[in-house]
Amino acid sequence: MNTTTVKAYGTLAADQDVKPMDIQRREVTAKDIEIQIMYCGVCHSDLHTARNDWHSTTYPAVPGHEIIGKVTKVGSEVTKLKVGDFAGVGCLVDSCGTCPSCQQDLEQYCQNGWVGAYNGEDKHLGGMTYGGYSQKVVVDEHFVLKVPANLDLAATAPLLCAGITTWSPLRHWNVGKESKVAVIGLGGLGHMAIKLAKGLGANVTLFSRTPDKTKDAKELGADTVIISTDEEHMKSVAGTFDLIIDTVPYVHDVNPYVGTLNTNGTLVLVGYLGPLDPILNTVPMIMGRKSVAGSLIGGIAETQEMLDFCGKHNIVSEIEMIKMKDINTAYERMLKSDVKYRFVIDMASL
Ligand code: NAP
Ligand code: ZN
C-alpha cells in the first residue's frame, strides 16, 4: 500500500519525552478521508499512553484523539464530506461493523476489538495506529465527524473525546430537567460534563479536591460545589444524586460518593481503569438499589448527536492553546491539575 511520510510527535519509551518523529499515513482508499490536522486536544489518556500507565503501550506511540482539521483528499466512494470541509476525528477509527455492538452504533464496544486513534491495531498498514499529534490523518469516512459551522474550531477539538465520554453516560442514564447530576473532578472531562449536563437541563454539582476551582465551576454551570475532602460537606449531600460521573484518573475511594447517590442512582466511572482500592462496600448499593458502572467514550452516531447538540446550544471546551513543542510541559501541568480546562495543540506549530 502506498504511504506518505508526515511529521508527528511521539514517544519511544515510557520514561522519554514526546519528541519529533516521522510516521507513515496510507494513501486514501475508496472510503477514506485525508485530513490536514489543525488542532488536537490533549487528553489525560494521551499521558497515560505515553507513559505506559496502562501497561499496554506499543512504542513508538503518537498520542492525540481530539482532532479537528480540513479535508484534503477523499476516496472515490466518500459521500460524507468533500475537500475543503472541516472534519473531526475522535478516539475511534475502526471497528468490525458487523458484531451486535457495532450493529447498535456502539462501535466502542466492538466485540471483535475497536481500533483507537492511537495505539490500536492498524488494519491497513499493520503495526499500531498513530494519533493526532501529526500533520495529517487518514480515516474511513464512517469514523469522521461533521463539525457544526458556528463553533470555534480549536475549542471544538476536546468535544471529540472529553465531550462524548461524558455525553454518553448522560444520555444512557436519561439525564434531563428533573435529574440531579454530580461530576467528580474538574478537569478536561469534568468541565465538559458540567456544561453538557447543564445543557440537558439537569441540576449539577461538582465534587472537587480543589476549593480554588469553586468560582470557575459555578461559571461553567455548576449549581453546587462540594469539597470532597471535607466530611461534613460530603454528608450534606447524602442520598442526593441520580447520576455521578467520576472522572478521577487514578485509584481513589469510591465509597464516600456511593453514599451521595439517591435510591436507584448510578455512579459511572469513566476515569480510573483498574481494581478499586479500598474495595467497594456493597451494603449501601444493596440497601438503596444503587449501581456502580463504567462507560467508554461513545459511538459515532452518538458523537455526531453530541456535536450537533453543542452546535445548537453553543457549547465548546475552555481551552489553553499550546505549541507542539510544549507538550511535555503540558503533561506535567496536567498532572498537577494546572489546566483550565483543556490544552489544545495548534498543529501549525508542528
Ligand atoms: P484531567 O484533565 O487531568 O482531569 C482529572 C481531574 O480529576 C483533575 O482535574 C482533578 O480535579 C481530579 N483528580 C486528578 N487526580 C486526582 C486524584 N489523584 N484524586 C482525586 N482527584 C483527582 O483528566 P481528563 O483528561 O479529564 O481525564 C480523566 C480520566 O478519564 C483519565 O484517566 C483519562 O484517561 C480518562 N478517560 C476515559 C475515557 C473513557 O472513555 N472512559 C475517555 C477519555 C478519558 P479536581 O482538582 O477538581 O479534584
Ligand atoms: Zn481522551
Nearest by Cα to 37 from 70, 80, 2, 78: 70
pTM for the structure as a whole = 0.98
CA 202, CA 207: separation in Å to the nearest integer?
16
Sole residue written with cell 478537569: 187
**Residue 8's domain is classified under what CATH number?**
3.90.180.10
Q: Which ligand is nearest to the CA of 226?
A: 1
Summarised one tens digit per residue, pLDDT across range 181-236 is 999 999 999 999 999 999 999 999 999 999 999 999 999 999 999 999 999 999 99
Q: Report if residue 68 sits inside a domain.
A: yes
Residues 170 and 266 in one domain: yes
* Residue 342 scores a pLDDT above 90: yes
Give the amino acid at 62: V
What residues flank ion ligand 2 with Cβ within 5 A?
A: 43, 45, 161
Residues 78 and 217 in one domain: no
What cell numbers appear for 50 in the block?
505515553
The domain total for the chain is: 2
Residue 88: CB within 6 Å of ligand 1? no
Mean pLDDT of 294-310: 98
- From 248, 303, 317, the mutation candidate for ligand 1 (largest count of ligand atoms within 8 A of CB) is 248
Residues 345 and 324: beta-carbon distance below 8 Å: yes
Residues 150 and 16 in one domain: yes
Residues 103 and 193 in one domain: no
Buried b (16+ CB within 10 A) or exposed e, 42-64: bbbbbbbbbbbbeeebeebbbbb
**Residue range(s) defining the domain that contains residue 34:** 3-161+318-349
Residues 40 and 184 in one domain: no
CA 289, CA 295: separation in Å to the nearest integer?
19
CA 16, CA 198: separation in Å to the nearest integer?
40
Residues 89 and 115 in one domain: yes
Alpha-helix residue ranges (DSSP H) falling in 270-342: 283-288, 300-313, 327-335
State the pLDDT at residue 1: 83
